[in-house]
Amino acid sequence: MKKLSYFLLVFVLLTACSKDDEIINEPDEEQGNPEEEIPEEPEEETPETYAFAPEETLSYMVDASATAETVALFYNLKSVSDNHFIVGQQDAFSSFFDGNDGFSDMKKTTLSDPGLLGSDFMFITDDQNDGTAQNWFYQQEQQIINNALRAYNSGMINAFTWHLREPYEGETFYSDEMTEFQRQNAFKSILPGGANHDYYKQKLDKVAEVSLNMIGEDGTLSPIIFRPFHEFEKDFFWWGAAYSTPEEFKTVWRFTVDYLKNEKNVHNLLYAFSPDNSYLTKSAYLERYPGDEYVDILGMDNYGDLIAQDGSGLNAANQKLQVVSDLAKERVKVAALTETGYFVTPSQTSLAEKFYSENLYGVLTNNDVNIGFMMFWQNYEDSYTVPLPGMDGEEDFVDFVAKDEPLLLNDMHDFYSLPN
């Protein structure tokens, strides 16, 4: 495929706007990891290739009634992962470094939008969203929907995470901002029969409503990669492993999928399972895994192993991603690096010279790693994970996306149709 070459580009930026959105700065919770030695597990026979025909796709998916476009997306993500991966960014159309809106920051640097847009159900399901035109949360909902439809209509992929507020006060998703009672009981309370189970169903009803109304210009529903309860093995979110047993976590996950699929008739979702970077083995990764019939995408979030710019965490990052890649091959799922990035600020000058084109690229490709997509976290007013023209890392980022494997929107074929 023809890849982008480097351009010295001067944009006439549109008038900067103030950013009123609440900042979700969750990567600040991450800490750098020292280089880790991955324990060896007994070798398992891993298929050399997944090799299935387009008409067999549904048999490997969670939803046997998935829409045609959702089936095609699963197939094409799995197929593309043999030799390429989609490059995405969270809030690419709504969060910009230094407030420079208009084009996505990635397009300012590469002349192409990302191939995947990350969004969040957080404001959409907030208790304060009353559905009225003057309500700030409802306005955010409309902006998020409009951006997702813009992405779908252009051929991009939509992925939604969910920073769900805790069910007692509905004010935070961070465990350290909750009372001890709330921390220890919030997740358990949304289990079937729990005190806040009906509350949780109401939030799922809103997810279903939005998903079922995500209708593109061609009249089809946009598929959505739905990624609830991310980074669940850590303890900084109320759904973290410190606050539930593995079986309780699996029960809530299975209920979530069954309710959306069977009760609300939502058939345009792919379900993504994405711990953070704590695991070292397949067995650790699968400790809270609800089963192949409840997961389409095996993901991993990883900031911590990329923080040290001397590269000391890169081998561990690649080996952890290899665990995900190998499991996806064995179980016929899509593998992904669902969140990553290194946050550069005007005062932070420690970005490695080849951070994108060598360090990150090696994590994503060494040792036969095969992923369908990777997603940078969003750019903020005062920091970025994707550099803009003239910023530290710009040329190296262009070198990264110019390689054969990364695909931006300009490089992608139709991901919503099966091959003939």
Secondary structure of the chain in the HEC alphabet? Answer: CCCCCCCCCCCCCCCCCCCCCCCCCHHHHCCCCCCCCCCCCCCCCCCCCCCCCHHHHHHHCCCCCCCHHHHHHHHHHHHHCCCCEEEEEECCCCCCHHHCCCCCHHHHHHCCCCCEEEEECCCCCCCCCCCCCCCHHHHHHHHHHHHHHHHHHHCCEEEEECCCCCCCCCCCCEHHHCCHHHHHHHHHHCCCCCCCHHHHHHHHHHHHHHHHCCECCCCCECCEEEECCCCCCCCCECCCHHHCCHHHHHHHHHHHHHHHHHHCCCCCEEEEECCCCCCCCHHHHCCCCCCHHHCCEEEEEECHHHCCCCCCCHHHHHHHHHHHHHHHHHHCCEEEEEEECCCECCCCCCCCCCHHHHHHHHHHHHHHCCCCEEEECCCCCCCECCCCCCCCCHHHHHHHHHCCCEECHHHCCCCCCCCC
Nearest to 88 by CA among 333, 396, 405, 386: 386
Judge whether 217 counts as a catalytic residue. no
Per-residue burial over 354-380, b if 16 or more Cβ lie within 10 Å, else e, is: bbbbbbbbbbbbeeebbbbbbbbbbbb
Q: What are 132's strand-pairing partners?
A: none
How many angstroms separate the CA atoms of 398 and 102, rounded? 20
Q: Among the options 231, 233, 330, 381, which is catalytic?
A: 231
Residue 339 falls in the annotated catalytic set: yes
Cα 247 to chain centroid distance, Å, stands at 24
Catalytic residue among 69, 141, 339, 405: 339
- Which amino acids are annotated catalytic? 231, 339
